[in-house]
Amino acid sequence: MISKNQVKYLHSLRMGKFRDINRAFIAEGGKLIDDLITSKFTIHIIYGTPGWIDSHQRLIASEEYVIEEVTVQELEKISNLVTPTEVLAVVGYPEPVNPSPESMGKIILLLDRLQDPGNFGTIIRTADWFGISHIFCSTDTVDVYNPKVIQATMGSICRVNIHYTDIKDLLAGLPENWTKYGTLSEGENIYTANLEFPAAIMIGNESKGISEEYQSLLTRKIGIPSGSTKGAESLNASVAAGIICSEFSKRM
């Protein structure tokens, strides 16, 4: 049985303001919760249907987590999904970390004002696929703890570190051997460009691209050539990011 106050608290976490106050966000779905359980994240509470509880007896026996059984109807009331699954958890924000450039691997992504939650979540998932562990976001990028971002990561939020930071300071602080790439439609053809590592790759806002302020700080501009002169004006941001990550990853 879930109390009115619990429902109110869970609903408040749909808003960034209350997520920040409580330093907690909502995650849903069996696979995502399983991933979170084995991750660095702290889970405050898990609401599971009888079906989910049944299949997680060992977890319950371990008494490591606060787990509440809820009916399907109760889950519907607290879920952010159109089709709620079987489990929902309140998860604490991870402690911010400040990785050294040496520990970041050979590719990092920088996001300049990305706005669409689905795109952001998908980019996190893509980064995870290609073994990219750090994504740095301008402070006006969409909130990673927005439920739509979390769900679109399909669990990759557990493995990719997301940092909100001053992108100018970040770029200035990267050692000389890092190449700072920006993806721009008029950039050098990525298929033929000689890609250098370690690489910091900036992806711009969905409609406005990379701001001029940041463009002036980049070392190189790269783009994905279109196969048609009369086709789409641009690619979806997460698809463009996917193609860019693919090209860098395979030549690493």
Where do contacts with a second copy occur on this chain (CB under 8 A)?
A: 118, 122, 125-126, 128-132, 152, 154-156, 159, 191, 224-228, 230-236, 238-243, 246-247, 249-250, 252
Q: Which is nearer to a second copy, 2 or 243 (CB)?
A: 243
Cross-strand bridge partners of residue 24: 92
Among all chains, which residue has been given the structure tokens 């009888």? Answer: 50
| Residue 110 and residue 34 in contact, taking contact as beta carbons nearer than 8 Å | no
Closest distance to a second copy from the beta carbon of 63 (Å): 27
* Shortest distance in whole angstroms from residue 4 CB to a second copy: 28
- Nearer of residues 152 and 218 to a second copy, judged by Cβ: 152
184 versus 252: smaller Cβ distance to a second copy = 252
CB of 228 to a second copy, least distance (A): 3
Cα separation, 144 vs 148, in Å, equals: 9
Q: Which long-range contacts (CB under 8 A, 24 or more apart) does 65-69 make?
A: 65/37, 68/2
- Those residues whose C-beta lies under 8 Å from the C-beta of residue 24, and which sit 6 or more positions away, are 13, 44, 90, 91, 92, 93
CB of 104 to a second copy, least distance (A): 14
* Cβ distance to a second copy smaller for residue 125 or 221: 125
CB of 200 to a second copy, least distance (A): 17
Residue 70's nearest CA partner among 78, 59, 81, 82 is 78
Nearest to 87 by CA among 47, 54, 60, 37: 47
Nearer to a second copy, 167 or 242 (CB): 242
Token digits of residue 210: 């990379």
- In this structure, the number of other CB atoms found within 10 A of the CB of residue 101 comes to 16
Q: Which is nearer to a second copy, 63 or 233 (CB)?
A: 233
Query: CB of 118: closest distance to a second copy in angstroms?
Result: 6
